[in-house]
Amino acid sequence: MLKKGFDFIAVWIAVLSGAMLSYGADSKTFPVGALFPMTGPQAYYGRVMSRGAQLAADHLNADRGDEGYLFKLVIADFQNIDEKLALAGLQKMMITKNIPFLLTSFSAVTLAAQPVCEKADILMINGGAYSPKILNKPCLYTLRVSQNQMIPAMLGYLWEKSIRKLSLIYMQDFGESVVRELLIPLWTKMGGTIVSDESHPPGITDFSAYIARIKAAAPDAVYDISTGQDQAYLVRQAREAGITVPFSVVDWNDTFQTIAGKASENVYFPADDFDAAGSDPLTSRFVRDYEEKWKELPDFYAANYYDAVYNILGELVKRVVKAGGNPLNGGELEKAIRTDPVFKTVYGGNLTLNKDGSSKKVMAVFKIADGKKVAEKRVDPE
């Protein structure tokens, strides 16, 4: 048993040594790690997130500044939000690529990876997860507006529309804490009432029992805090059951629209306000090249991960090199954020990374009309 233990350690050291040697042989390569769902029911997100990040790496490489680094995107697929698969992928990237920087997405995966990255001194940038639980975590910054920013904006908008009675439905674990700690206290403080309160397991497609209770409660609007395709199935089945009141959801994309079809009318959601028609030169280049490369317009997820790599990582590498440091050290990259938390963005102008890890950027409440999202009201995320 003892010899087997030593054999295992020897093999492990050999793997690490080989990885370091191969990494050192091309010291000007900058490995950009990423945890995305590239397959499975969440693959839409992995597709647009990775495309935004890849285009950013392409642009950095084309611009190749005095720093001379060649940025290479390395993706680990965690499929259907599989935390164990994500951590295995992260460990592999750490061993074989020695990554100093990690793009992450989805709250559960981000929270699972954060302690590992903190210990290994890897800087994390999230562009998709929005749980309040990912705030105030060392080494972790997020470009997606969080639920702490979205819920007050959405409730304020609903109040302005004379909504007073809300039915709540949310995914177990995912939405429980934010409903109890933020949404209900804020809504009742505003003077509103909660007429029904439902939690559901993730990944279901039959919401008939929940919908029956919501319909019986006769709300002015339904507030759903779920994730993935659950939202689309809920909306479609609620409309089929005759519930016509406004629906607030967390997210909406082309896949959801295909599932919901015309049932998506009168659906609202708060989100990062990326305008693909923006006139900023950074925006124009990003949108033009993204559409040319991928044959579709970028959404805000693609914009967030482009920003994370091109406008944030690219700038951090410049700052660290200028200061005489090593940009392949995640700790030095994070120190450069604390020195100056303001960065350019394809949203137009600048974005600021706040001390709690959130970001200050433009956001809006969107409405689905004729299958397309329309910005109803722009909101200050602070």
Residue 158 has pLDDT above 50, yes or no: yes
Q: Is the pLDDT of residue 3 over 80?
A: no
Residue 241 in this model has a pLDDT that exceeds 90: yes
pLDDT for position 132? 87
Name residues whose C-beta falls within 8 Å of residue 122's C-beta, 6 or more positions apart in sequence: 33, 94, 99, 100, 101, 102, 116, 139, 330
Q: Where are the alpha helices (DSSP H) in the chain?
A: 2-24, 43-63, 83-96, 107-120, 147-160, 176-178, 184-190, 208-217, 230-240, 254-260, 281-294, 300-306, 314-322, 330-339
Whether 143 shows a pLDDT value over 90: the answer reads: yes
**Angle of helix 208-217 versus helix 230-240 axis, rounded to 10:** 60
The stretch 359-364 carries a mean pLDDT of 88
User: Residue 63 burial by CB count (10 A; 0-12/13-18/19+): exposed, middle or buried?
Assistant: exposed
CATH superfamily of domain region 2-144+278-362: Response regulator (3.40.50.2300)
Report the sign of the C-alpha dihedral through residues 81, 248, 190, 363, in that order: positive
CATH 3.40.50.2300 residue ranges of the chain are: 2-144+278-362, 147-273+364-379
Mean pLDDT in residue range 114-143: 95
pTM assigned to the model: 0.84
Strands of the 140-142 sheet, one edge to the other: 70-77, 29-36, 101-104, 123-126, 140-142
Can you tell me the mean pLDDT for 221-230?
91
Q: Note the pLDDT tens digit of each residue in 280-292.
A: 999 999 999 999 9
Q: Are 127 and 142 in contact (CB under 8 A)?
A: yes
Average pLDDT, stretch 358-375? 91
Q: Which CATH number fits domain 147-273+364-379: 3.40.50.20, 3.40.50.150, 3.40.50.2300, 3.20.20.70?
A: 3.40.50.2300
**Residue 282 near residue 258, CB atoms below 8 Å:** no
Note the pLDDT of residue 16: 41
Which tens digits make up the pLDDT trace of 29-84? Answer: 999 999 999 998 889 999 999 999 999 999 999 998 768 899 999 999 999 889 99
Contacts of 288 (CB under 8 A, 6+ apart): none
Instruction: Specify the pLDDT at position 12.
Output: 38
- Whether pLDDT at 116 is above 70: yes
